[in-house]
Amino acid sequence: MKILIISFHTCPVNKLGQKDTGGLNLYVHQLSDQLGDRDHSVDIFTRKHDVLDPIKIDINKNSQLIHFDAGDLDQTKNEMVDHITIFIDNAIEYIKKHSIKYDLIYSNYWMSGIIGSKLSKFLSIPHIISFHTMGKTKRTVNHMEDESDYRISKEIDLIKKSDAIIVPSLQERENLEDNYLHNNNIYTVSPGVDLNQFQKLDKKQSRNKLGIDQNTQILLSVGRLEPLKGYDLLIESLSYVNLENVNFKLIIIGGDDKSNNELERLNRIAKENDVYDKVSFIGAVDHDILPLYFSAADIFTMPSAYETFGIAALEASACGLPVIAPQVGGLKTIVKHGLTGYLTANRCPELLVHYLEILLKNKQLRDVFGINSRKHALNFSWEKSTQDLINVFEKILTKTPA
């Protein structure tokens, strides 16, 4: 197959954990790499984000990323909407210039979906979309960052018109149909994890390499610094953890210069709750370094108000960590309550504190949960995700008249 992937607002090769980079970037990069390895041809169209961005970047011999100009480089994600038309024009010009014949378009995120829908009509080929997050759901759970009516109207339009919609979990399918509308062309394809890269390393050696004290229990969380991630709740909860002779510290990985406002807010919350010395923000790190942090940690927690899946939680599980997370989105797929970790009610500090205390004081239970986490993570690989995606693509192509 000749596949066109759209990732308009964020580049799949950007460093993870920055303001607008995360699971979507990793998902697109890994799947395009896997598709190329299986001799499918993949072009990824994305917006140029940096003056140093080359026009093309090879993912592998069959997959490549192509940058297009579309607005100022320092624009926020919401401001990029105004330049979708420019991006579409540049994409069409590129396709015409190189006489490219694609079999289908796979868009990632609602803004990419607008582009994919237009290109689908221009090329007369199927259009498939993954939303990754949904505006109505974000509006419900996050009052600090309201989503526009325009976004929601476009999402409804894309649900109606797309040839297929791919969701990462059954929970997200239910969320889409409950908050939007029913669609018979929804398929579940769970993201994966690199099971060779993400596996448990020696804890003592990992801590030595990272300069982490051997006698401190480490709580770890990984994700962008934004209100939706729920770090305020996690930090506040630390002040209520009441355990004698238990020395612990929270390490949060993620964020960049664009996250300064949220970082200042979280530091202020840490000071107000007298846990400033127990919280360490280390910014975004290279993805290759994450297995060291997972292996150095004792507990992984993801307090997000909304996660369509939660790839970082899956990576933590693959490294043998117990996970504490709310019952939202795909996290219910990743965390098996009482077996690999604990599921809490959304934004429930009492349960979060309760489960933190249980795991902090019980190494044997942490070890058992960690073993179970790794076993459960073995059900998720990028190879399986890719094959599931290919199956959807082939089904849609057989349904679409030539």
pLDDT digits (tens, 9 = 90+) for 57-94: 999 999 999 999 886 767 777 778 888 999 999 999 99
pLDDT band at 53 (very low <50, low <70, confident <90, very high): confident
The answer to whether 2-192+381-399 and 203-377 have equal CATH topology is: yes
Which amino acid does the sequence have at 156?
Answer: I
Residues 6 or more apart in contact with residue 66 via CB below 8 angstroms: 43, 44, 45, 46, 55, 56, 94
Which of 13-27, 229-243, 253-267, 378-392 bottoms out in mean pLDDT, i.e. has the lowest?
13-27
Q: Which residue has the tokens 């994700």?
A: 223
Residue 17 in this model has a pLDDT that exceeds 80: no
Spatial separation of the C-alpha atoms in residues 28 and 79, rounded to whole Å = 22
Region 203-377: CATH code:
3.40.50.2000
Name the CATH topology of 2-192+381-399: Rossmann fold (3.40.50)
Any idea where the domains of the chain sit in the sequence? 2-192+381-399, 203-377
Spatial separation of the C-alpha atoms in residues 312 and 388, rounded to whole Å = 21
User: What are 42's strand-pairing partners?
Assistant: 3, 63
Spatial separation of the C-alpha atoms in residues 96 and 171, rounded to whole Å = 40
What is the pTM assigned to this prediction?
A: 0.93
Residue 164 in this model has a pLDDT that exceeds 60: yes
pLDDT band at 52 (very low <50, low <70, confident <90, very high): confident
- Note whether 312 and 302 are within 8 A (CB): yes
Which of 12-21, 71-80, 113-122, 194-203 bottoms out in mean pLDDT, i.e. has the lowest?
12-21
Residue 296 in this model has a pLDDT that exceeds 60: yes
pLDDT score of 123: 98
Whole-number mean pLDDT of the chain? 94
- Note whether 26 and 385 are within 8 A (CB): no
- Note whether 301 and 234 are within 8 A (CB): yes
